Amino acid sequence: MAADQSHRFAGPADLHLHSNHSDGTEAPAEVVRQAHRHGLATIALTDHDRTTGWDEAAAEAARLDMTFLPGMELSAKHEWRSVHVLAYLFDPEDRALRAETDRIRSDRIGRAERIVRNIGRDYDLHWDDVVAQTTLDATVGRPHIADALIARGIVRDRTEAFDGILHPREGYYEPHYAPDPLTAVRLITDAGGVAIIAHPVTTGRDRMMPVAFIERLIAAGLGGFEIEHRENTAAGKKVLRDLAVKHDLIVTGSSDYHGGGKPNRPGENTTSDEMVARLISRASGSAPRYP
Ligand code: AMP
Ligand code: FE
Ligand code: FE
Ligand code: ZN
């Protein structure tokens, strides 16, 4: 399929963008317009644990003659590490995957309430403040709590919130349910999608999964890694590049744009046309939307 279809899209491609259906600050159509303004021709919307932004984003991409790949960033967990698995071109109606994302999203609500209750012991912050920062029934996360802290004048921006009150070391943090990465990769692959580990080598407590475990993910169907991402370390990227060559994997580069919620700009990292073609040819769950 890729060979026939590859002429139908052209880069630059940014395959990791968030809207207000999760923790981005802009509606899906606005995310697409921002991507277009930054010179992108191919994009994916990858909201955390949900697919409800696809239709709006796809319609705007069509209007702007851009290629749209349906995507999602699935929350997973390996031991204490939060692991994010990007999922592309899967079937959004797949029952097992939907059951898992429903479970993650509903558990995230109780978890966010627990974090807010913890913070409320020391600061003037209430659950209503968080609800006020959440559009639709967006996937709730710490970024929405950060926005509530900003609205209350307790911190200046999301970065300050994450470096302080929301950081696990401060003692307010609570975990949420997430599948282990092997389950995540299998669910995505079984739904006809391609699983790519997002920002696999960030510093701090989320540091890289052991290589032996990553090789188990590869055996379970992992498609590749997001290597060019501002939070990946140089040393980690080298390990990933070597692994990608050894196992003939897909490698991507992306911005992880969150609108005004993070400094990341659309297109600050991009994915090559060759890799986009490989993603498309490997997937069978849903079709890319060409201009
Ligand atoms: P959660 O999944 O609720 O624990 O929150 C993690 C989310 O917070 C990630 O998806 C990131 O997009 C976002 N995030 C992490 N660190 C920062 C930061 N320093 N500034 C803004 N957003 C962040
Ligand atoms: Fe996010
Ligand atoms: Fe992520
Ligand atoms: Zn992301």
Domain at 258, CATH number: 3.20.20.140
Summarize the confidence of residues 187-216 as an average pLDDT. 92
Residue 287 inside a domain? The answer is: no
**CB of 173 sitting under 6 A from ligand 1:** no
Number of domains in the chain: 2
Residues 57 and 184 in one domain: yes
* 208 pLDDT above the threshold of 70: yes
Residues 229 and 186 in one domain: yes
Query: Does pTM surpass 0.95?
Result: yes
Residues 123 and 97 in one domain: no
In three state form, how does the secondary structure of the chain look? CHHHHHHHCCCCEEEEECCCCCCCCCCHHHHHHHHHHCCCCEEEECCECCCCCHHHHHHHHHHCCCEEEEEEEEEEEECCEEEEEEEECCCCCCHHHHHHHHHHHHHHHHHHHHHHHHHHCCCCCCHHHHHCCCCCCCCCCHHHHHHHHHHCCCCCCHHHHHHCCCCHHHCCCCCCCCCCHHHHHHHHHHCCCEEEECCCCCCHHHCCCCHHHHHHHHHCCCCEEEEECCCCCHHHHHHHHHHHHHHCCEEEECCCEECECCCCCCCCCCECHHHHHHHHHHCCCCCCECC
Residue 111 inside a domain? The answer is: no
Residues 227 and 271 in one domain: yes
Q: Give per-residue pLDDT as tens, 162-196.
A: 999 999 999 999 999 999 999 999 999 999 999 99
Residues 165 and 181 in one domain: no
Q: Which ligand is nearest to the CA of 142?
A: 1
Residues 40 and 182 in one domain: yes
In this predicted structure, what is the pLDDT of residue 268?
98
**CB of 49 sitting under 6 A from ligand 1:** no
Q: Give per-residue pLDDT as tens, 68-92.
A: 999 999 999 999 899 999 999 999 9
Residues 149 and 61 in one domain: no
Which range of residues forms the domain containing residue 233? Answer: 3-101+177-282
In this predicted structure, what is the pLDDT of residue 40?
98
Residues 218 and 83 in one domain: yes
Residues 147 and 274 in one domain: no
What distance in angstroms lies between residue 53's CA and the mean position of ligand 1's atoms? 19
**CB of 159 sitting under 6 A from ligand 1:** yes
In this predicted structure, what is the pLDDT of residue 1?
42
Summarize the confidence of residues 31-46 as an average pLDDT. 98
